[in-house]
Amino acid sequence: MSSVILHEVGPRDGLQFEKEIVPTARKLQWLRAVIAAGVDILQVGSFVRADRVPQMADSEELFRALATEKRGKTILSALALNSKGLDRALRAGAEMICMGVSASDTHSRKNTGKSTSEAQKEILEMGRHALAAGVRVQVAVQSAFGCGFEGRISEERVMRVVRAFADNGLINISLADTAGHAYPQQVTRLFGEVFRLVPGARCTCHVHDNYGLGIANIYAAMAAGVTTFETSFAGLGGCPFTKEAAGNVATEDLVYALQRAGLRAEVDLEQLIEVARDVGSFFGRRMTGRVQQIGPLPY
């Protein structure tokens, strides 16, 4: 747990589900605050079609603005779902490219318009291209713990995608709980299998909180050896192309839990809480994150 890496995905996974468009200036305010708080990786946006995900239409502009600013150690990441999106992300200056393949054929078709096998072929090509371009690459198995359309997803299907990633030199691997179906024992088991299958893998855990098991699933992943965790400010989030979308684990909640354990004390929790509260103020509703609602204990 001493090496926990925080990947803030609120600006992408959090906002993509929202119908009310956030002005670019407000987004930049949140992005800069999260950078100042000391997160390790910040997912600025995704390079997808603006007519399908209009909240992401200003991704290039956000990268251009942040590229000229000092930001310490924070790595700027982006999501790309196809080769055109990858080219846009590289031109924009993304330092880390995230891409994925859904283990659910139904979700894959709704999310990308391609079957799992078709999407996998393109993602493998993209991954090799991005590595050759000298940027960090993270590949994900989406719907790894279940699917809102298909229900249970066989672990063998998940591991086939993992094996294809590894065979192409892509060992920074995320398992994503797109539909929010994961439970702790399953999380430990699946990540354990990834580490057995791909010695030296660097694994990321991305869980949603549909059934209130988000933090428990993160701790189960830690127990299996996972070091990187994707969370969203205020608990925003959800895939707009899944059947049962729900929010992510709130970044401020995870940081609070870590700091109670004596970890990541250098991260500015109060700053993250301020961002979460401002997000709630913008959308005019109560956010799902717990710590921003009642404040951290004073010790």
- Give the residue ranges of DSSP H helices in the chain: 24-37, 59-67, 83-92, 105-112, 116-132, 155-167, 184-197, 214-224, 251-260, 269-283, 291-294
Tell me which residue has tokens 């398992």: 175
Q: Is 239 in the active site?
A: yes
- DSSP for residue 250: B
CATH code for the part of the protein at 5-294: 3.20.20.70
Report the DSSP beta bridge partners of residue 36: none
Check if the beta carbon of residue 126 is closer than 8 Å to that of residue 83. yes
Beta-strand relationship, 75-80 and 41-47: parallel
Check if the beta carbon of residue 31 is closer than 8 Å to that of residue 275. no
Please indicate, yes or no, whether the overall pTM of this predicted structure exceeds 0.85.
Answer: yes
Per-residue pLDDT 10s for the chain (299 aa) are 558 999 999 999 999 888 899 999 999 999 999 999 999 999 999 999 888 889 999 999 999 999 889 888 999 999 998 999 999 999 999 999 999 999 999 888 987 888 899 989 999 999 999 999 999 999 999 999 999 888 999 999 999 999 999 999 999 999 999 889 999 999 999 999 999 999 999 999 999 998 889 999 999 999 999 999 999 999 998 655 444 556 899 999 999 999 999 999 999 999 999 999 999 999 999 998 999 999 998 76
Check if the beta carbon of residue 55 is closer than 8 Å to that of residue 15. yes
Instruction: Enumerate the domain spans of the chain.
Output: 5-294
The structure tokens listed for 150 are: 């298909």
Per-residue pLDDT reduced to its tens digit, 236-251: 986 554 445 568 999 9
Check if the beta carbon of residue 216 is closer than 8 Å to that of residue 184. yes
Q: How far, in Å, CA of 210 to CA of 207, rounded? A: 9
- As to burial, measured by CB atoms within 10 angstroms (0-12 exposed, 13-18 middle, 19+ buried), residue 120 is buried
Q: Catalytic pick from 98, 147, 205, 239?
A: 239
Q: Nearest-CA neighbor of 172 among 10, 37, 5?
A: 5
pLDDT of residue 111: 78
Q: How far is CA 47 from CA 55, 64, 77, 142, in A?
A: 11, 14, 11, 17
